[in-house]
Amino acid sequence: MAQDPSARTAAEVYAAGLAVRRAVLGDTHVDAATAAITPETADFQDFITRYAWGEIWTRPGLDRRTRSFLTLACLITGGHENELAMHVRAALTNGLSRAEISEAMLHTAIYAGVPAANSALSIARSTFATLDAEQAVAAEPGTDSPPTPTLP
């Protein structure tokens, strides 16, 4: 029987959130974000790991794929372009295709506005190009690993 979510300790919620965050965003991103923690950002990093990833992304009501669709639409609607590339990558990790991501952006244009969707499509196009370049480098003989991506 599954544990009652309200019975989890803060440490358990954090651990669950960190596991989901790593699964969705990748170890490289999470390790870079963790390495960049300062005394001023430590509470915020704990907050997003526990609440966004540990409380919301671990809920059983939606799968990660659907959560990625919603996250993209919310980021576009809110004009949060600095988070968009990271979540385009996450959406691919969670099983969305490039065509589905583009379709979600087109759909969002009707409800959130054409300028927001236009910016989002530009970011997605750039993210896809970066991923393609990373894959090309990784496929070259003698290359051990792709370059470390930069944080958005």
Give a three-class secondary structure readout of the chain. Answer: CCCCHHHCCHHHHHHHHHHHHHHHHCHHHHHHHHHCCCCCCHHHHHHHHHHHHHHHCCCCCCCHHHHHHHHHHHHHHHCCHHHHHHHHHHHHHCCCCHHHHHHHHHHHHHHHCHHHHHHHHHHHHHHHHHHHHHHHHHHCCCCCCCCCCCCC
Q: Look at residue 1 in the predicted model and tell me its pLDDT.
A: 46
pLDDT single digits (tens) 61-78: 999 999 999 999 999 999
At residue 7, the pLDDT reads 86
> In the chain, what are the domains?
10-61 (no CATH), 62-145 (1.20.1290.10)
The predicted pLDDT at position 131 comes to 96
Prediction pTM value: 0.79
